[in-house]
Structure 1
């Protein structure tokens, strides 16, 4: 299966360079090309994609501001001619940051990270618990609970305690399926039984919905 990409850049020359580079990688496919954030917003509402090649310095709305506006955004590789944007780009969990002009080798390194992450998301994650390494099928995870410096990962038949943060584990899980609904909980949306008041129920477990997360949770549930 090919990774579906969108190029979002207001410069035709930059669009052409990315088109050429994407064409030389067998696991990438261009789903669309957008000239600005407004075009991209419309396109993404109608088309599911895996990856954005997103220019930061665009007219009217920067790439970073645009990306922050998206609900359940695709993975992103930022592209720009300005190195001062790099830290801000990584603050929104970008996969990588390409400083123009970049080589094919540098481009390939960035997209390989995307491929590795998507493969991992679709199948298994490795969790260290009780001095053992467990290979967990991603879809078997029901929810994750924060426990101080540790997390508890709940599946149908076991609970694993691991030295990780919620942010660590969330970065390993598919963004289209897992979401944080409370400062102490991540849930697998596909395992959700029902929502009642300010809590969700998965199996026999009732999980609170934090006020900070409620609006985004309900938007995503309704979509």
Structure 2
């Protein structure tokens, strides 16, 4: 395994550069080579000094971060840093390993750079313990419905009840959205609004401040916007 990954920071905001410098200094397997506040200066450096990773702001003078990422060596990993979540989908075109929304917290930063390391092998035991279904109480005191997680499209909170929407049916159960959020696996489901938790794999499209699942349009709430766009840019999707 490679012991050290070289990197540079490209951002036109000095406070952002200082924060990333601080974070890089806390990670033992990262080595900061240089910082730049102009895209063309960074490009000139990279032509003669290849690095493993570039922390790249998207809104930059001269040329944008997206444009720069398409020019530099394809072997160089990119982690975009920006204050604008609407650029998230555009980052797919250049296969960035992650997309960090400002203000960036160290925990989120570390999760992104860990993607440079080889993934730990999942054990057979861990796979066998993954949840496949949940029983939900429905009508009557002793009636429960078996719901396979793979069939859930989204869950809607209705005060003291939740509606679990599947392809061809809907189940109403006495519960709260908060409780269901704890029950559903985080790698497959995400809350996008105070009233909605959705299955990531069933999202058909994202348009402005809404997502589409089949013929249903569901809003993305401001409170959940940052986490949502970070999630859809992670490799686990």
Q: What TM-score, normalized by structure 2, do the two folds share?
A: 0.48
The CA deviation string for residues 95-153 of structure 1, in whole angstroms up to 9 with x for no partner, is 00000002111001000012237x9xxxxxxxxxxxxxxxxxxxxxxxxxxxxxxxxxx
Tell whether 2:6 aligns with 1:4: yes
Tell me the residue number matched to 2:19: 17
Tell me the residue number matched to 1:106: 108
Gaps of at least 5 residues in structure 1 are: 120-223
Counterpart CA distance in 2 for 1:107 and 1:23 is: 12
Q: Relative contact order (C-alpha < 8 Å, sep 6+): which is higher? A: 2
Tell me the residue number matched to 1:28: 30
Aligned in 2, Cα 1:71/1:25: closer, same or farther, shift over 3 Å? closer
Counterpart CA distance in 2 for 1:111 and 1:71 is: 19
Q: Classify the secondary structure of the residue corresponding to 2:117.
A: helix
Is the 1:90–1:96 Cα contact (8 Å) retained in structure 2? no
Q: Classify the secondary structure of the residue corresponding to 2:66.
A: helix
Is the 2:40–2:62 Cα contact (8 Å) retained in structure 1? no
Counterpart CA distance in 2 for 1:44 and 1:11 is: 20
Q: Classify the secondary structure of the residue corresponding to 2:56.
A: strand
Q: Classify the secondary structure of the residue corresponding to 2:51.
A: coil
Tell me the residue number matched to 2:74: 72
Aligned in 2, Cα 1:71/1:5: closer, same or farther, shift over 3 Å? closer
Q: What TM-score, normalized by structure 1, do the two folds share?
A: 0.51
Tell me the residue number matched to 1:58: 60
What is the total number of aligned residue pairs between the two structures?
119
The CA deviation string for residues 189-217 of structure 1, in whole angstroms up to 9 with x for no partner, is xxxxxxxxxxxxxxxxxxxxxxxxxxxxx
Tell me the residue number matched to 1:163: none
Tell me the residue number matched to 1:89: 91
Tell me the residue number matched to 2:139: none
Tell me the residue number matched to 1:196: none
The CA deviation string for residues 162-191 of structure 1, in whole angstroms up to 9 with x for no partner, is xxxxxxxxxxxxxxxxxxxxxxxxxxxxxx
Gaps of at least 5 residues in structure 2 are: 121-237
Is the 1:67–1:73 Cα contact (8 Å) retained in structure 2? no
